[in-house]
Structure 1
Amino acid sequence: MSDVIIGLTGGVASGKSLAEACFRALGIVVADADAAARDALAVGSPGLAEVVATFGPQVLTQDGQLDRAAMRRRIFADPTAKAQLEAIVHPRVRTALHDACRNAESPYAIASIPLLAESGGRSAYPWLHRILLVEADAALRLKRLCQRDGIDIDLAQRMLQAQASHRERLAIADDVLRNEGSPDALAAGVARLDRLYRRLAAR
């Protein structure tokens, strides 16, 4: 079991996925909030049943899955609906991440939470021992996002603006990993932090 849990966060196109891969390559268990959220609303789950009870059967596809596109449109148009959905999903995600990290067979574990600053930070995740922010210059993130998703600059800018600001993310971070160079440079940064986290776990 891992007693030391590191929260990994960062804005869209900052390089979180690459950082996750680097930690995994070093033998570290990574629990992913996006995967936990999908599991929380899987077909037959209590979470999906609660969503249907709250929003009605029209949020389902013909095969009984959550219609994520329709749900996304609804919550963007209605802040109350967004809060209702988050009240269903977030507690389940927090529990799943905590359980996965506590049961991890590695010296420490990573809880990858892209929207950590937006979802309550340390108050929502009091069991995080440290928070690692993966960050890059906004102009570089815009370029990456346009190339990655094949979208125009206006949409990419709106996506960045919808997230927490750099200052808000920085306010909750213990460690910052800049990702503005090569993948090898990021891997070197992860290796340095890995040594730090292993020392913390050995105490």
Structure 2
Amino acid sequence: MADYIVGLTGGIGSGKTTVANLFAELGITLVDADVIARDVVMKGSYGLAQITQHFGDDILLDDGNLDRAKLREKIFHNDAERVWLNSLLHPLIRETMLKQCKQAQSNYVIMVVPLLFENGLDSLVDRTLLVDISPELQQQRTMSRDSVTAQQVKNIISSQATRAEKLSKADDVIDNQGEISALKCKVEALHNFYLKLSSNS
């Protein structure tokens, strides 16, 4: 069981997934908030049952899975509904993340949370690691990856904590503006550092 948790975060397009996968290659268990957020509303889940009860059956696709686009539409302009949904899902996600951390067999765990600071989830981890790139590069990478407009990317970036806020809160920072080979060296150095910290905890 892993007792030491490192919270990995970064804005959209920063390369969180690439960094997380490099830790996974070193044998470290990943607990991914995005994956868990999908799992807690899967067909047959408690989360989906609650959502269906609240919004009605038209929130479902023909195959019984959640219609995410329709759900987004319902909460987009409705703060009360968004608050309701968050207060249902956030505790479920948090509980599942902690359970997965407990079950992990590696010396420490990387908990991948896009909105780690924004949602106060840094309180669950022993140390925080930020993947940092400039807003310009963030915009460029996200536009080419997700085929979205510059304005859409700007809207997403502005809904997240600012770069300065994240940098001031993070214990460790990986600058991801260079080559993947440089990134590997940085991850390996941090991995050795986290192994030391976890063995002392």
Give the shorter-chain TM-score range: over 0.9
Moved more, 193-202 or 51-60: 51-60
Q: CA deviation at 1:121?
A: 3.6
Q: Which residue of 1 aligns with 2:141?
A: 144
Q: What TM-score results when the alignment is normalised by the length of structure 1?
A: 0.94
Q: Which residue of 2 aligns with 1:26?
A: 26
Amino acid at match of 2:102: R
Give the Cα–Cα distance (whole angstroms) in 2 for the partners of residues 171 and 49 of structure 1.
40
Query: Is the 8 Å Cα contact of residues 142 and 153 (structure 1) preserved in structure 2?
Result: yes
For structure 1, list consecutive stretches of 5 or more residues without a partner in the other structure. Answer: none
Give the Cα–Cα distance (whole angstroms) in 2 for the partners of residues 57 and 119 of structure 1.
29
Q: Which residue of 2 aligns with 1:71?
A: 71
- What is the number of equivalent residue pairs in this alignment? 200
**4+ runs deviating over 4 angstroms:** none
For structure 2, list consecutive stretches of 5 or more residues without a partner in the other structure. Answer: none
Q: Which residue of 2 aligns with 1:53?
A: 53
Q: CA deviation at 1:104?
A: 0.8
Q: Which residue of 2 aligns with 1:166?
A: 163
For 1:1-203, what aligned pairs fall within 5 Å after superposition? 1-122=1-122, 126-203=123-200
User: 1:172/1:55 Cα in 2 relative to 1: closer, same or farther (>3 Å)?
Assistant: farther
Query: Is the 8 Å Cα contact of residues 121 and 172 (structure 1) preserved in structure 2?
Result: no
Q: CA deviation at 1:99?
A: 1.1
Q: CA deviation at 1:190?
A: 0.9
Amino acid at match of 2:136: A
Q: CA deviation at 1:81?
A: 1.2
Give the Cα–Cα distance (whole angstroms) in 1 for the partners of residues 127 and 158 of structure 2.
26
Amino acid at match of 1:9: T
Q: CA deviation at 1:173?
A: 1.3
RMSD of aligned Cα (Å): 1.2
Amino acid at match of 2:60: L
Give the Cα–Cα distance (whole angstroms) in 2 for the partners of residues 4 and 195 of structure 1.
14
